[in-house]
Structure 1
């Protein structure tokens, strides 16, 4: 089972964080200025929180960090889908940005949420049964975020504005795969024996890609046996041979049997290592009346400078042709 580091901020720490968030006055539409100011404020986060973030950053092996009791502010009604971008105006969004900038640099994608830094994760009646972040009638299959992209985010950050006790977030670290497989099976996972397609949410906008719609051959695991990276999408990744498909099926079985389940509550911030773990989400009932589950999703690059070449000028947006 995934080890999830946890920190519940004290009431005094909550007030300190609230004070920092009220100083972030730049509009998130001015992305570079917004992230710069958030990064400066991050230096003054409570010492205990900074320490836990640094520990997670330096020792993450596919685990997750959940920070609870963060200041919320006023929460708007849950929107239907992610087209209105109401979440970015909340106090919790500013808190999320400040904490994110302690880990790296917030980034956005031209092909997702119109290039916004914050994505409203709320049920969409039009996508309820699709494999997208705004579905609800179906389980969101296990995956690494944007496994098809060479510029996928290093960390995924999820802030909970409104909870649903029946909605589980699933986490499964890559290191458990190597621990559960035979040496021969493990070695094969590091060989380029699979291909993967492009996510539905990217293809829906009919953006032009500089790369092909099918990517590969790729390996499922990369790097060190003891601290492997993982590239996988239960829906999009396919084996190129019978053997590789069998290995993929085994990885998915392990994910379903051994994944950790988390129910996010209002004021929680969950940070996932997107290079060393896969994640998913259960189905859940949607009422579509403004009271449904409402999360804010953001992406973090460990080094923003390393991907500046792919960004739109004066923004944090990675252009579609690099996806």
Structure 2
């Protein structure tokens, strides 16, 4: 990728950028097609399938990807919804300060049996994060109002859903709160940095890995960190209204 042809990092995600940025998005979409189908949200970035991760003035201390001063906490992408992606693709257009993406995972087998059992039950609430305008949600969009399990499936291949800022327990459920604290402590301990350089591409398995971003100081001079992002599902039937996770399956 030629930085001199990339142009300025946009001041807002509504600005698509130049031809080199479009080429980067095209490359990301081609790789995404090897994994499944790209999907978008009517509630996020005007329904764009290919979205942008870049700092936006006024959101420095927010809980969204356009933040900067505040670290973006680890999360399953769109953890609140049963229609969330299986993979999240990231293509780095620019990262002048080498700001890391963060990744973590749950070692389910290392969790105490009682904790695993509790996390596999519908005793948790995950609200939609601020990246979504839920006023735009259609009848098929889940808002995170129903109780869910955080781990689904066998211990050796468990599906994880969690968001450090948006996950809570049903009020009064102390056992669920203790299990959540154990899971969060493990994810915090397992967190590590992935530094994407210009031209680097990665796909995060959204079924068992959480991701975030370290804090940084934006310049707002057209040279700030800029990534292209795409959500990928391996089965479009899973995005249809009425589909739900089998959250009542126990962790083995």
Query: What is the TM-score of this pair, normalised by structure 1?
Result: 0.68
* Alpha-carbon displacement from aligned partner over 1:229-258 (angstroms, at most 9, x marks no partner): 011111111012122122212222222211
Tell me which of 72, 75, 86 is aligned to 2:17: 86
Over 3 Å counting, the alpha-carbon distance change for 1:309 and 1:253 in structure 2 is: closer
Looking at structure 2, the residues matched to 303 and 236 of structure 1 have their Cα atoms a distance apart, in angstroms, of: 26
Residue 203 of structure 2 corresponds to residue 274 of structure 1: no
Whichever structure has more helix as a proportion of its residues is 1
Q: Deviations over 1:251-299 (max 9, x none)?
A: 2222221112111100100100111111111111101110010100111
Do the aligned residues in 2 keep the contact of 1:103 with 1:300 (CA within 8 Å)? yes
Shift of 1:209: 4.5
Superposed, 1:275-314 pairs within 5 Å as 275-304=207-236, 306-307=237-238, 309=240
Give deviations 1:139-179, integer Å, cap 9, x for gaps: 111110111111111100000000144522111123x2x13
Q: Which residue of 2 aligns with 1:207?
A: 136
> Do the aligned residues in 2 keep the contact of 1:190 with 1:219 (CA within 8 Å)?
yes
Q: Which has the higher contact order (CA 8 A, sep 6+)?
A: 2
Q: What is the distance in 1 between the residues matched to 2:38 and 2:207?
A: 16
Q: Does 1:152 align with 2:84?
A: yes
* Cα root mean square deviation, aligned: 2.0
Q: Contact 1:72/1:91 (CA < 8 Å) preserved in 2?
A: no
1:190 matched residue in structure 2? 120
The two structures have a TM-score, normalised by structure 2, of 0.86
Match of 1:170 in 2: 102
Once the two structures are TM-superposed, the CA of residue 109 in structure 1 deviates from its matched residue by 1.1
In the alignment, is the contact (CA less than 8 A) between 1:72 and 1:267 conserved in 2?
no
Number of positions where the alignment pairs a residue of Structure 1 with one of Structure 2: 236
Hey, what's the Cα distance between the residues in 2 that align with 1:98 and 1:216?
A: 35
Gaps of 5+ in 2: 242-252
Q: Which residue of 1 aligns with 2:246?
A: none
1:180 aligns with 2:110: yes
2:81·2:143 contact (CA, 8 Å) conserved in 1?
A: no
Task: Give the direction of change, closer, same or farther, for the CA distance of 1:101–1:87 in structure 2 (3 Å limit).
Answer: farther
Partner of 2:8: 77
